[in-house]
Structure 1
Amino acid sequence: MSRIRLLRYTAPLLALALVAACGGTTRDDADDAGPADEGASADPNADFQTGLSIAMLPKSVNNPYFDASSSGAEAAATALEGTFEYTGPSDASASSQVSYIDTLSQQATDVILLSANDPNALCSSLDQARAGGSVVVTFDSDVDPACRDLFVSQVNSDEVGLALLEMAAGQIGGDGEVAILSATANATNQNAWIDVIESELESNPSYADIELVDVVYGDDEDEKSFSETQGLLQAHPDLSAIISPTTVGIAAAARYLSGSEYKGEVALTGLGTPNQMREFVTDGTVTEFALWDPTALGELAAYTGAAAASGIITGAEGETFTAGDLGEYTVGADGVVTLGPPTRFNADNIGDFDF
């Protein structure tokens, strides 16, 4: 948190800090509380500053994944009696995000929620925003930790990479060529998951018969992801599976496969929303894929930013806060707050989800 923001809330935050120093109450502690605690506020938002301006800047707009995230963030902002703005470029590039960060900084936005297209290229603008009093919380895709206050991660990176590889291996019987259709080459989350996949393929004997033959980038653009899928299949005639750890990419790849001779022959898995992928599961193009709830991710990001802007947390490891109905969360190392494990979707359960 910036020094300016700390000064803005010094008086009320000193009181909060003293309470925290004496020991907070977790959900389990509250269950055991006696009659003396009955007069305490039951409102989980009572300690949050009201009237905060919260803005979400995704990798790109017109993306169902980020649309869902924005709805969660807006719900949190409304619950906290704040204002919400959803803004961003139509293309997933770091240079396009810079002007939006600068505008939000000039508007003295209290909380900027950012899914970054590059880990370093945005740092200068983010530093200026923080110096001006904005709390910067990255979500989905991080920047250098020195350039933001906190990062809200979907899940542990290892869990995502392992899940993607497990699904692909299961669908091809543990044998064959696989390729990856990613988003942008500099996306930190995508690259972390790909690193896990590559490491497992090199070191885990369970995957000894699987070969990663290519990694391509659709830049989170539908048409480019569609054409990259076509290119992969032409370049690798023996390809067994495509892993696409991006909601835009997996939907575009599924659309291509569903109308081609490769349907049912080349497996496709990755990260997608149930509403995007339902038709492709129904028609047999896709067997199983995974994702976390992007609405909950946006909601948690907004609560995390509001908690920092309100002085409830500073980003230090071990701090806790309550994110509305999502419950209590703990800040981890490097200011990371993690939503939870991914959910796998298939024909048996996809009808139970609507996002």
Structure 2
Amino acid sequence: MTRTPAPTTKPGRTRARRTALALGLALTLAACGGTTRDSEEERDDAPAGDATADPDAAYATDLSVAMLPKSVNNPYFEASSEGAERVVDELAGSYEYTGPSDASASSQLSYVNTLSQQATDVVLLSANDPNALCSALEQARSLETTVVTFDSDVAPECRDVFVSQVDGAEVGSTLLEMTAEQIGGEGEIAILSATANATNQNAWIDTMEAELAENPDYADIELVAVAYGDDEDEKSFRETQGLLAAHPDLAAIVSPTTVGIAAAARYLQGSEYGGEVALTGLGTPNQMREFVADGTVTEFALWDPTALGELAAYAGAAVASGIITGAEGETFTAGELGEYTVGPDGVITLGPPTRFNADNIDDYDF
């Protein structure tokens, strides 16, 4: 796809202004150890909400883009980063992958502030908490940084758009369907989630709980516990052990997190529960291949995290280039992924999840 070169700055904005504002923020932080908002006189005259989209505009070619995942050293986010970096390279921008080693909102906060001070054009964020980062994100946006959340959202007023991997209700329904199929429609189940405040995890769990309460097909399935491994391998491993010890009649564990499902599978594989207690959830084929091969796991699901990173990068570049503002109904083209439309509350959805099992897992490499 051939694109016409674009201006090297965002429409109506200057890099020098943003750099000066960022320097002012850095000095303020150094002086008082906190963040302050620029006065109305120091900001651009037009608020971000008054921006006008130009669907015929070209993508800017010098954007600085940073991805801030829930935590680094996570294969899922590394795959997303590969996709995002490929897009940024295509657009002749600069790319950075940075973040904490632990999945906590407090750990992400300093990274948001640093990227804001550096006048980063686009931040791609998978948030560990829907509200804890809002003040810092608002400060970043006041310095003209485009904030795109992906995978896990923040409050809509704190970002420009959210790139959702799939419809949240669809994820929860798929997880419950796989669980019911693997345990014959009856028995006790437990959930091994990531962090207690993760927006995406909680939305999927809410859907599962609603389905269990209302759908007669699941009348004989009982959710007995929800545990949190905080997207840490060893903690998720220990939480799996704890669930099985506390609930000896457990029929299945559902882990809607790639770190959690891999840790749980490792525990089951080396215990007497392997092949006896079903395990399903969200994982990458490369993580789960050995567990499917030896029968520890029958089936799990996920979307393509590389494509999710690509779409997040295109969405961020589209906002930063003035192609979209995040308003419902706006459209943009995300390279080979095709055309996407912004939905209510600035949500852009990648697509439905894929189920992986022994029949198809070797067809995928991510």
Q: Give the TM-score of the pair, scaled to structure 2.
A: 0.86
1:172 alignment counterpart: 183
Tell me the secondary structure at the aligned position of residue 237 of structure 1: coil
Are positions 1:100 and 2:111 aligned together?
yes
Tell me the secondary structure at the aligned position of residue 254 of structure 1: helix
Which of 3, 7, 11 is the equivalent residue of 2:12? 7
Answer whether contact 2:54 2:324 (CA < 8 A) is retained. no
Gaps of 5+ in 1: 11-16, 25-45
Answer whether contact 2:83 2:307 (CA < 8 A) is retained. yes
**Counterparts of 1:104 and 1:325, CA distance in 2:** 29
**Counterparts of 2:243 and 2:11, CA distance in 1:** 51
2:228 alignment counterpart: 217
**Counterparts of 1:7 and 1:79, CA distance in 2:** 24
**Counterparts of 2:338 and 2:58, CA distance in 1:** 15
Per-residue deviation, residues 281-322 of structure 1 (Å, max 9, x unmatched) = 000000000000000000000000000000000000000000
Per-residue deviation, residues 113-166 of structure 1 (Å, max 9, x unmatched) = 000000000001000100001000000000000000000000000100000000
2:310 alignment counterpart: 299
1:346 alignment counterpart: 357
Answer whether contact 1:218 1:225 (CA < 8 A) is retained. yes
**Counterparts of 1:170 and 1:18, CA distance in 2:** 46
Tell me the secondary structure at the aligned position of residue 7 of structure 1: coil
Per-residue deviation, residues 165-199 of structure 1 (Å, max 9, x unmatched) = 00000000000000000000000000000000000
1:52 alignment counterpart: 63
Aligned-CA RMSD value:
1.6
Are positions 1:142 and 2:153 aligned together?
yes
**Counterparts of 2:242 and 2:12, CA distance in 1:** 55
Tell me the secondary structure at the aligned position of residue 118 of structure 1: coil
Which of 289, 300, 303 is the equivalent residue of 1:289? 300
Note the C-alpha offset of 1:8.
Answer: 1.5
**Which structure 2 residues correspond to residues 71-220 of structure 1 after superposition, within 5 A?**
71-220=82-231
Answer whether contact 1:137 1:304 (CA < 8 A) is retained. yes
Relative distance call for 1:18 and 1:221 in structure 2 (3 A) is closer
Answer whether contact 2:53 2:325 (CA < 8 A) is retained. no
**Counterparts of 1:142 and 1:6, CA distance in 2:** 26
Relative distance call for 1:71 and 1:195 in structure 2 (3 A) is same
One-letter amino acid matched to 1:121: A
Answer whether contact 1:182 1:190 (CA < 8 A) is retained. yes
**Counterparts of 1:18 and 1:315, CA distance in 2:** 9
Tell me the secondary structure at the aligned position of residue 344 of structure 1: strand
Gaps of 5+ in 2: 1-8, 15-43, 45-51
Note the C-alpha offset of 1:89.
Answer: 0.1
2:77 alignment counterpart: 66
Note the C-alpha offset of 1:6.
Answer: 5.2
Are positions 1:334 and 2:345 aligned together?
yes
**Counterparts of 1:166 and 1:258, CA distance in 2:** 23
1:249 alignment counterpart: 260
Answer whether contact 1:251 1:276 (CA < 8 A) is retained. yes
**Counterparts of 1:219 and 1:324, CA distance in 2:** 34
Answer whether contact 1:5 1:133 (CA < 8 A) is retained. no
Tell me the secondary structure at the aligned position of residue 253 of structure 2: strand
Answer whether contact 1:71 1:295 (CA < 8 A) is retained. yes
**Counterparts of 1:214 and 1:261, CA distance in 2:** 21
Answer whether contact 2:122 2:317 (CA < 8 A) is retained. yes
Tell me the secondary structure at the aligned position of residue 178 of structure 1: strand
Relative distance call for 1:7 and 1:278 in structure 2 (3 A) is same
Tell me the secondary structure at the aligned position of residue 263 of structure 1: coil
Q: Give the TM-score of the pair, scaled to structure 1.
A: 0.89
Answer whether contact 1:69 1:294 (CA < 8 A) is retained. yes
**Counterparts of 1:49 and 1:75, CA distance in 2:** 15
Equivalent pairs counted in the alignment come to: 323
Note the C-alpha offset of 1:18.
Answer: 9.0
1:275 alignment counterpart: 286
